[in-house]
Amino acid sequence: MKLSTKTVASLLVVTTVAAAVPGLSQITIPKKRRESQFDKLLQRHDRKCEIRAELLGMTPYEFKQLSKTKAFEEIIVARGLKNKRIFRVALMGYLRNELRQRGWTTSRIDTYVMARSVRMA
C-alpha cells in the first residue's frame, strides 16, 4: 500500500467513528440516494482500489470490474461479509495492523484514535 502514514492514521480514525456509530456519516442528497461521507473518503484515498480489494480477497482489477456492474453492498455480500458494518470493522483491523507494521505501538494508536475521534463526533 502506498498511502502515507498520516493518511492511514486518519482513515483509521474515520473508520473507527463510522463503525462505532452507524448512520453518523450519512448526508442527504436531494435528487440522489443517501451517500456516506465515509464511503466518499475511502474512495478518494483508495483510488486504485487496493485496500478494498485486499479486504475482499480479490485483485484491484477484479474489484473495479465488479463495481461497474454491482453496488458495493452486493460485492460485500457476494464475498462473504454480512454487511457494510462488518466490512468497516475489518477495515479498522487492517488499518491498525498497517500502522503497527509501520512502527506504531498499540498504545500510540489508541491514544491517537481517542484524541482525534472526540473532534469528529
Of 41, 43, 50, 38, give the one whose Cα is nearest residue 2. Answer: 50
- Decide which of 121 and 113 is more confident: 113
* pLDDT digit string, tens, across residues 48-89: 888 999 999 999 999 999 999 999 899 999 999 998 889 989
Give the whole-angstrom CA distance, residue 100 versus residue 81: 25
Grade residue 29 by pLDDT with cuts at 50, 70 and 90. very low
- CB-CB contact of 75 with 56 (8 Å): yes
Predicted model pTM: 0.80
Give the whole-angstrom CA distance, residue 25 versus residue 39: 9
Q: What value does the mean pLDDT of the chain take?
A: 84
Compute the average pLDDT of residues 78-105.
93
Q: Is the pLDDT of residue 27 over 60?
A: no
